[in-house]
Structure 1
Amino acid sequence: MSGIVSLTRNVAEAFVMREERRTGSRMVAYDDVARAVGTSSEWLRKFISKSSAKEPGMALGFRILVAYRRICERVEQAGDRERRLKEEIDAALESALLLVEQAKGTDRSAT
């Protein structure tokens, strides 16, 4: 069971760190994550810092894991979109470079 608790703690900490980067405030991040998973920010702070917080019940632990997994899925989807756009940009640039090279070749043959 301690492996699951450790995983849940690591996920909760990653969730808070992600929200802190987004909001610019660690305390706001605790509040946002706690609200998202249905607990208090005080409990969340204690749980992450390993100081006298009870282990999460099964339902809360599950909500923490599922909420962060959804975030990971959105990040992966956004990454997929970015990769597709990059491929389109690369193809467009390659085509443009070919056109430029062809135009330069045409200019040389005219002289």
Structure 2
Amino acid sequence: MKSITVTELKSWKDANEDFQLIDVRESYENDICTLNGILIPMNEVPAEFRQIDKDKKVVVHCRSGKRSANVIQFLEQEHGYTNLYNLEGGILAWIEEVDPSIEAY
């Protein structure tokens, strides 16, 4: 499984890199804090996977990186995705290393 650090993700954002950001947390978690990705809660991924691009880089994130890793494993095994990156440490790492002004939970 490919992964990306929060500092690498920040570089992609700053450089306007062409990628898709998918948030697999629950909507109440997204209400607390967000990286402005497309919200597809983990349990909805099997039905909504077509929203996830196969033709460009896709970063999948959750709170700490565990749920997103499970989602990536599912998408790679069941749907043949090869372009997915797990955000190491999830949004908690983003808050700690990139933007401490975001509310942690």
- TM-score per shorter chain, which class? under 0.3
TM-score under structure 1 length normalisation = 0.25
| Bigger strand fraction | 2
Larger Rg: 1
TM-score under structure 2 length normalisation = 0.26
Q: Which has the higher contact order (CA 8 A, sep 6+)?
A: 2
| Bigger helix fraction | 1
